[in-house]
Amino acid sequence: MGAEEVYRQNDARLRPYVMARAIDGRVVDGEDLARLRQANLTVDAIRQSLPMGRGNAAADVERTAGESSRSTEAGINMASHLERDAHWNVTLARAAGALLARAANCDGRAALSVMAHTPHVQPGEALYQVTSSKIGHVWAEWRREGNPRLDFALVMDAWMEGPAVFASDGQLSEQPGLTNSYFNFSHVSGLAARAQMDALLSNAGDALQARFMQERLAIPPDFRTAPRLTYSAMSVISRGFELRVQKKLARTVVAPKASRVGVPPKALAAPRSQQMARREVLNDVLAVGVARTMTPGLGIKAAQGEAPELLHAAGHRLRDKGP
């Protein structure tokens, strides 16, 4: 797959979310859009590098006849060996275990996301692994150091379904009081850790692969993650955000906003059917703007042709969890 196709698919997964943000009054463009795209490329890359899937996701366990559980368990055991016996840093150990297994649960995916994303972290920024106090789950976040504002922080969750999102829109990240952060990497420490992991994998690759095969062969052929620890698909995007967007898509334009977008005050006294027609016009204008932002140079007519699908996706497919 060429770079152009990778970027096209990356944007296709982001478009419903970027459209929903515009409807919610929080347009994503410029530097924020560039960061969101890069974060989503990392999420996609992690998923593609782990084709055996998630060891504790019901869909992956079923799809692989249990191999996702067996490979993940071997990767976990390998990571424990690297941390305990070889004295690797825990994040490096988990990331390496996931790569060797080509499968991982949320903690391995979060560690691998951090290692994969370190080249994109700028001075003054940091990568964190974050846990929820609501459920046992781990993901990666890209933040400004010392200022974890939700409108800057980006969630990279390669276990849940969906794209990279701003932390303020995440199902588990939207309430920072219910999360805990650990194992942070700055611009400098992240690059050093990534270089260390690359060197270890390069210099000891054959030995690591041999040890992993020992771990894999030690897993019983009928092993599967226990049902009580196996989960159905979950969306990374908050249900509250989705509901807010759906309501805004369907409600009439309020007076202050109407004046800001150029709707004459007398129009607000029109019958509801006409007010809703004006809402549809406003939605179309927003969608054309999103289409042209996502595809620089796109003409007005072509953008208008993309508007219906953008609006439908934002209103009805924002939290798609796959087949």
Nearest 5°: phi and psi at 103?
Answer: -160, 155
What does the DSSP assignment read for 4-38? HHHHHHHHHHHHHHHHHHHHTT----HHHHHHHHH
Q: In sequence order, what are the beta bridge partners of 15? A: none
- Closest Cα partner for 142 from 150, 134, 14? 150
In a domain, 234, yes or no: no
- Determine the structural domain holding residue 46 and report its residue range: 3-229
Q: Do 27 and 95 fall within a single domain?
A: yes
pLDDT for the residue numbered 80: 98
In a domain, 321, yes or no: no
Lowest mean pLDDT among 3-7, 36-40, 109-113: 3-7
Lowest mean pLDDT among 180-189, 253-262, 284-293: 253-262
Q: Do 295 and 217 fall within a single domain?
A: no
Q: Do 87 and 57 fall within a single domain?
A: yes
Lowest mean pLDDT among 57-71, 74-88, 179-193, 259-273: 259-273
Average pLDDT, stretch 204-209? 94
Q: How far apart are alpha carbons 109 and 122 in whole angstroms? A: 22
Q: Which has more confidence, 80 or 149?
A: 80
Q: Are 57 and 68 in contact (CB under 8 A)?
A: yes
Lowest mean pLDDT among 23-27, 176-180, 284-288: 176-180
Q: Do 7 and 113 fall within a single domain?
A: yes
Segments in the chain forming alpha helices (H): 3-23, 30-49, 58-63, 67-84, 90-101, 106-117, 187-203, 205-217, 239-250, 255-260, 272-294, 300-316
What is the rounded average pLDDT for all residues in the chain? 91
Q: Do 152 and 275 fall within a single domain?
A: no
**Token output for 123:** 């001075």
Residue at 41: amino acid letter: L
Task: Say yes or no to pLDDT of 267 above 70.
Answer: no
**What tens digit of pLDDT does each residue of 143-177 get?**
987 765 667 899 999 999 999 999 999 999 998 88
pTM exceeding the 0.85 threshold for the entire prediction? yes
Q: How far apart are alpha carbons 25 and 318 in whole angstroms? A: 16
